[in-house]
Amino acid sequence: MAVKPMCMPTQISDDEDTQKEDNIRCLTMIGHFGFECLPHQLVDRSIQQGFSFNILCVGETGIGKSTLINTLFNTNLKDKKSSHFYPNVELKIQTYDLQESNVQLKLSVVKTVGYGDQINKEASYQPIVDYIDAQFETYLQEELKIKRSFVDYHDSRIHVCLYFISPTGHSLKSLDLLMMKNIGSKVNLIPLIAKADTISKTDLQKFKCKIMSELVSNDIQIYQFPTDDETSAQVNSSMNEHLPFAVAGSMDEVKVGKRMVRGRQYPWGVLQ
């Protein structure tokens, strides 16, 4: 009988093993991947898209609306001074593209022109209410479309309304109460005492208490900082106690000691 030779197993040398391992394509990850990266991805996407902020400034002519906006955003937003001779209340809308670090902001400032200058002030609030309602209607019509494109859509709804109160030190005017009554339920209303550096500390505190009591008695709704979040509850509750805010703005640089600060120079000192 012929005996068939046995098949010996083929041995692979170490060099061949190394060669096969070298042919494996290895991809290096940029960073860690997991659902814990989701907040960072949302932040990065928001920074790339940019942010928009719409502010409505309501107040009499010359009360300091433009100065305060310039001070808040630390920039000189070129704006022409308004006169006191407008027959009706009008709204002036200006949009600015601002950038701080790598964050881009599209700022829309809506200011009242001729507010409180008319003899008959009964209809002074109507153009402002109509504008706020029109922005809600425009957004609603965009939502009702079959194909919505909110990426390219500029949301013109008002995020916050800064209402400037004259620093009389006495009480709110009937026009103030009427205006805030009509827009308090439509926007985030924040009352401000403009040019508060013209009132003493004692009178300012009395003025604040009087304003808040009048707002409560007239059932006027103003913005309250949320206190449900434990991390910010203490800070926000203290902010609510300071309402209405007393503000003063300036774009002039004044020397205090060895440094230059933004403030106002008075005979008695410098307001920083």
Q: Express each pLDDT in 198-228 by its tens digit.
A: 888 899 999 999 999 999 999 999 998 888 8
Mean pLDDT along residues 61-82: 82
Residue 262 has pLDDT above 90, yes or no: no
Cα–Cα distance measured from residue 224 to residue 226, given in angstroms and rounded to the nearest whole number: 6
pLDDT at position 134: 92
CB of 189 within 8 A of CB of 221? yes
Amino acid found at 230: E
pLDDT single digits (tens) 114-163: 887 777 777 788 889 999 999 999 888 888 888 777 667 788 899 999 99
Q: What is the structure's pLDDT at 32?
A: 67
* Average predicted confidence (pLDDT) for the chain: 82
Per-residue model confidence (pLDDT) at position 119: 72
